[in-house]
Amino acid sequence: MDSNTYIEIVPEIRCLAASEALRLLQNTEDADDVAQDVLLKLWECRDYLHGDRGRMMAFARTTTHNLCLDRLKSRRRSPFLRLWPWGNDGDDGEAAGHEWPTLDTPQRRLEMEEADGIVRQALERLPYKWRTVIVMRNVDEMDFGEIAAIMGTTEGAVRVILSRARARMMEVVRSLG
């Protein structure tokens, strides 16, 4: 697809993506962001679509739907995990020196660095045992059985410790932020 074809179809696809995203997300700003992302992905995949209007519309619909599902899924994450830039749900990087996703904006990167600092400060304020359980679960991605075996306790006790540690971390994060 050449730039002229793209320019011709952008208004229609933007309208389609924005209306579908608004229907799914119930948030105008998020819907506009999704529509913009769809247009960017459409441009990035222009060689595969060969200027076929039907393919472009189908691609836009599918991409819009998937991006909306991703946003809805990220909203459901616990407040603690939204602050955590790595681990448990993340292919975002590693704890030692996490790498940022390539599509991040400078603003998003700054927000994540600030959140990382807050999380680290909150971790430092936790008792050693609680901090260890959080790191094993969220950074090392261990399951409850592995953590219980290492800590010499039961899975239920590990779940309780993790729950209390996350609750305390949220209190500390609120006091820091």
pLDDT along the chain (177 residues), means of 10: 82 92 88 92 85 84 90 64 47 43 64 81 90 87 89 92 90 82
In whole angstroms, give the CA distance from residue 36 to residue 48: 19
What's the CATH code of the domain at 124? 1.10.10.10
State the DSSP H helix or E strand holding residue 127, giving kind and residue range, or none if neither: none
CA angle 143, 80, 25 (to 5 degrees): 105
Contact by Cβ (8 Å): 1, 51: yes
Read off the pTM. Answer: 0.46
Report which of 90, 92, 75, 78 is spatially closest to residue 163, judged by C-alpha positions. 78
Dihedral sign from CA coordinates of 83, 89, 95, 100: negative
Residues 65 and 112 reside in one and the same domain: no
Residues 7 and 61 reside in one and the same domain: yes
What's the CATH code of the domain at 71? 1.10.1740
* Residue 170 in tokens: 């949220």
| Assigned domain for 100 exists | no
* Owning domain of residue 39: 3-76
Strand spans (E) along the chain: none
- Residue 177 is predicted with a pLDDT of 66
| Assigned domain for 58 exists | yes
Residues 64 and 16 reside in one and the same domain: yes
| Assigned domain for 128 exists | yes
In whole angstroms, give the CA distance from residue 166 to residue 170: 6
| Residue 39, number of CB atoms within 10 A of its CB | 18
In whole angstroms, give the CA distance from residue 31 to residue 55: 22
| Assigned domain for 67 exists | yes
- Domains: count for the chain: 2
- Residue 101 is predicted with a pLDDT of 46
The DSSP call for residue 93 is: -
- Residue 27 is predicted with a pLDDT of 86
Q: What number of CA atoms fall less than 13 Å from residue 65's CA on the CB side?
A: 6
| Assigned domain for 93 exists | no
- Residue 81 is predicted with a pLDDT of 53
